[in-house]
Amino acid sequence: MAALETDYLVIGTGGSAMAFVDTLLTEDPGAQVVMVDRHHRPGGQWNDAYSFVRLHQPAAWYGVASYELSDWHRETTGFNAGMWSLASGPEVLAHFEHVMKHRFLSSGRVRWLPKCEWLGAEDGAHRVRSLMAGESHTVKVRRKLVNATHARIEVPSTHAPKYALTPGVTCIPLNGLPGVTRAWANYTVVGAGKTGMDACIWLVENGVPHERIRWIVPRDPWMMDRANLQPGPDGWRNNFAFSMAQFDALCEATDLPDLFRRLEDSGALMRIDPAVAPTTYRCAVVSRGELGQLRRIAEVGGIVRLGRVRSISPSRMVLERGELASDADTLYIDCSASAIQPLPDVPIFAPDAINLLMVRFCQPLMSASVIAWIEAHIDDTAEQRALCKAVRGPERPADFVLMWVETLANAARWRQHPELMAWLSKCRLNAQAVILRGVEFTPEVKDKLAAIAARAAQATARAPELLAMAAKGAG
C-alpha cells in the first residue's frame, strides 16, 4: 500500500476515539483523519465483551455527539423496571458501526484501517501493519497522533485467569455463560468488579438459586444508584439531589470514613453489606433491584472475602487469606480481568500528540469530545493544557475525592471560556445538559442549579483538606 498522509492519526476506534473524531469533524471542517485498530469493526472492548453486556449508564449521553444512541424507552420488567432502557452491547456496536460508515467514511475525510496495528514512529513517519496481510506502510501526520489506547481495558474473554487451574476444573470466561448447556450443582463467580456483578445477576435471571452461587469478592466496592442518573422531567430532581448530597458530604465530612457514611446515608453511594467497609471505588452503577439480588447471595453465605484466588482444584480453592472446600461439580466463571487500568502520567496535549484521558469524573467519551473541541478551536498548547487537566481513573475510595477535585478544577476553567460553555450546553455527551432534556427552566430549576454551583465551589475549597487527612491516615 502506498504511503498515506493525514492531519490526525488516531490509534484505536473504541468509544473515546469515535467521540473524538466525531466532534473533530464537526468543529474542524477541513480535518483529515486516519483511524487504525486491531479490531475488525469500531467499538473497542465492546467487540470482546460478553453477549449480554449492557451499558451501565444512560445511553442518553453515551456514544458520539452527533448521533443518538438512546431509544428513550423505559424498562418495563426486571431489576431496572421504570428506568430508561440500558443499551445492549450489540446496540452499542451498531451505533459505532453506523457512525463509522455513514458519517466518517461517507464524509471522505476519514480513512479506516481495521485489523491493523500501529508500530510507532521514526523520523516523523508512522508505521502501520496489517494483521491480515502482514504488510506495513507509512503514514505521514501533518498535525498530531491521537492515542486512544491508554485505558487498556481488560475483559475476561481476552485475558486468561491469573490463578492456577488443575485438571478436572471447568472455568469459563463470562462470555461463555450463554453457551452453558447443562445444570451444575454450584456456580462460583471469581471477581467483584462490574463484570462479576453482571455474572451474578445473569445467573439469578436465568434461574440459578442464590444458594447455589458463590461469589469471590476480594474487595468490596462502593457503587452508585442508577436511579440517580435518570434524565428528563421524572429524573432531574433525583439527580440534582444526588449532586448536592456529594457536595454536602465533601463540605461537611470530618474525615474520609465520615465522608462515605454521609454519602451512603444520603443514597449517593451504596455497598453490598453495611457491616463490611468497601476498599475500592470504580464508578460502578447498579440499580437497587440488582443490589438486592447481590445482597441475597450474601445473606445465604455465598460471598467469600478471603482475597484473590491463587489456585483451584476439583476439591479445593486456595485464596490469599485461606482455603475453601469445593464441590467437584462446580462451574467457575472468571471475571477477574481488571477493566480499569492505571493511567499513564502524560499530558493530554503534547507537542505532536493528543492523549485521550478523562477530563470529567468517570465520563471518558464526553471527555474525548471536549478534547476534540479544544483541539479544533484553541491553537495555544499552554491554553489547551490549562483547560484539560487529566482526571485520573478510580481505584481507592479516596479517589472519589481526588476525582471531584480534578473535575471541579477543570469545570472552573471551562466557565472562563464562553464559547466552550455554549457548546457544552448543547453537547449530547454532556450528562449535566442531558439530565435537563425536556425540563422547563422554571425558577425552581434555576434556583437549584445556582445552589448546586455554590455548594460545588465550597466543596472545591474543602476537598484538599479531606485528601490531606486521607493521605495522613494512609501513612
Residue 311 has pLDDT above 80, yes or no: yes
The residue among 307, 334, 361 that closes a domain is: 334
Average pLDDT across the chain, whole number: 94
**pLDDT top residue among 343 and 377:** 377
Per-residue pLDDT reduced to its tens digit, 48-89: 999 999 999 889 999 999 999 998 999 999 999 999 989 999
99 with 116: CB under 8 angstroms? no
pLDDT on residue 475:
45
Q: Residue 78 and residue 16: Cα distance in Å, rounded?
A: 30
Evaluate whether residue 118 is within a structural domain.
Answer: yes
Q: What is the spatial distance between Cα 193 and Cα 209, in angstroms, rounded to a whole number?
A: 21
DSSP 3-state assignment of 280? strand
Q: What is the mean pLDDT of residues 283-291?
A: 96
Examine the pLDDT at 271 and tell me if it is beyond 50: yes
With cut-offs at 50, 70 and 90, classify the pLDDT of residue 471.
confident
CATH number of the structural domain spanning residue 94: 3.50.50.60
The contacts of residue 312 (CB under 8 Å, 6+ apart) are 163, 164, 165, 166, 169, 171, 318, 326, 332
Asked if residue 150 has pLDDT above 90, the reply is: no
Q: How many domains does the chain have?
A: 3
* Residue whose grid cell is 487498556: 152
User: Would you say residue 85 lies in a domain?
Assistant: yes
Same domain, 141 and 173: no
Same domain assignment for residues 173 and 281: yes
Q: Do residues 117 and 35 both lie within one domain?
A: yes
- Domain span at residue 163 reads 156-220+271-334
Q: How far is CA 362 from CA 284, 366, 393, 431, 457, in A?
A: 10, 9, 7, 11, 20
pLDDT tens figures, 368-399: 999 999 999 999 999 999 999 999 888 899 99
For 203-249, the three-class secondary structure string (H helix, E strand, C coil) is HHHCCCCHHHEEEECCCCEEEEEHHHHCCCCCCHHHHHHHHHHHHHH
* Collapsed DSSP state (helix, strand, coil) of residue 40: coil
- Model's pTM, two decimal places? 0.95
Distances (CA, A) of 249 to 146, 260, 267, 278: 37, 8, 11, 17
Rounded Cα gap, residues 336 and 236, in angstroms = 35
63 inside domain: yes
Q: How many CB atoms lie within 10 A of CB 149?
A: 19
Contact 398, 407 (CB under 8 A): no
Same structural domain, 95 and 64: yes
pLDDT tier for residue 122 given thresholds of 50, 70 and 90: confident
Q: What is the DSSP string of 112-127?
A: EE-SEEEEEEETTEEE
Among 363, 402, 398, residue whose Cα is nearest residue 151: 363
pLDDT attached to residue 340: 63
Residues 400-441 have pLDDT tens digits of: 999 999 999 999 999 999 999 999 999 999 999 999 999 999
Say what the pLDDT of residue 310 is: 97
Q: pLDDT tens, 172-205?
A: 999 999 999 999 999 999 999 999 999 999 999 9
Closest Cα to residue 316, out of 156, 161, 160, 164?
164
Question: In this structure, are 96 and 132 located in the same domain?
Answer: yes
| Nearest-angstrom CA–CA distance, 153 and 9 | 21
- Residue 452: pLDDT above 90? yes
Mean pLDDT of 461-465: 90
Region 345-349: mean pLDDT is 93
Residue 157 in this model has a pLDDT that exceeds 90? no
Distance in angstroms (rounded) separating the CA atoms of residues 421 and 432:
12
Q: What is the pLDDT confidence band of residue 358, given thresholds at 50, 70 and 90?
A: very high
Q: Are 54 and 129 in the same domain?
A: yes
| Residues 32 and 120 reside in one and the same domain | yes
How many C-alpha atoms does 467 have within 13 Å on its Cβ side?
A: 14
47 located within any domain: yes
Asked if the structure places residue 467 within a domain, the reply is yes
pLDDT band, residue 1 (cuts 50/70/90): low
